[in-house]
Chains A and B, each alone.
Chain A
Amino acid sequence: MTDVPPRFVRQFALTNGRARSTGENLPLDTIVTLTDRGQAVARMLVGEQARIATLCRQPVSIAEISAHINVHLGIARVLVSDMVVDEIVGVSTSDFDDHGPDLVTLERLLDDLQAL
Chain B
Amino acid sequence: MGTAPSAVQTAPAAGIKPLKIVIAGGFAAGKTTLVDSISEITPLTTEAPMTNYSVGVDDLGEVTSKTTTTVAMDFGRLTLSPTTMLYLFGTPGQDRFWFMWDELSKGAVGAVVLVDTRRLADCFGPLDYFDRRGLPYVVALNQFGGALAHTPDEVREALAISPDVPVVAIDARDRASTKDILIRLVRHAIERRTVQ
Contacts and interface: CB of A to CB of B under 8 A. Distances in A.
Contacts of B70: 3-4, 7, 72
A4 B55 contact: no
Interface residues of A, number: 64
Contacts of A99: 193, 196
B162 interface: no
Contact of B68 (A72, A78, A116): A72
Contact of B16 (A4, A31, A75): A31
Given A23-B54, A59-B85, A63-B87, A114 B183 contact: yes
A1 B80 contact: no
Contact of B11 (A2, A13, A59, A77): A59
B53 A27 contact: no
Interface string A62-94: 011011100011110110000000000111111
Given A58-B8, A63-B75, A109-B86, A3 B93 contact: yes
Main secondary structure of the interface of B (DSSP, over half): mixed
Interface stretch (B106-114, B115-123, B144-152): B106-114
Contacts of A89: 13
Contacts of B183: 110, 113-114
Interface of B: 4, 8-9, 11-20, 27, 31-32, 41, 44-50, 52-55, 57, 61-75, 77-78, 80-81, 84-87, 89-90, 92-94, 97, 103-104, 106-110, 134-136, 179, 182-183, 186-187, 189-190, 193-194, 196
26 contacts: A1-B32, A3-B70, A4-B47, A6-B67, A9-B55, A9-B63, A11-B64, A12-B63, A13-B62, A14-B57, A14-B61, A25-B53, A64-B77, A67-B45, A72-B46, A73-B46, A73-B53, A74-B54, A77-B53, A78-B63, A92-B14, A99-B193, A100-B136, A100-B189, A112-B84, A113-B183
Interface of A: 1-14, 16, 20, 23, 25, 27-33, 58-59, 61, 63-64, 66-68, 72-75, 77-78, 89-103, 105-110, 112-114, 116
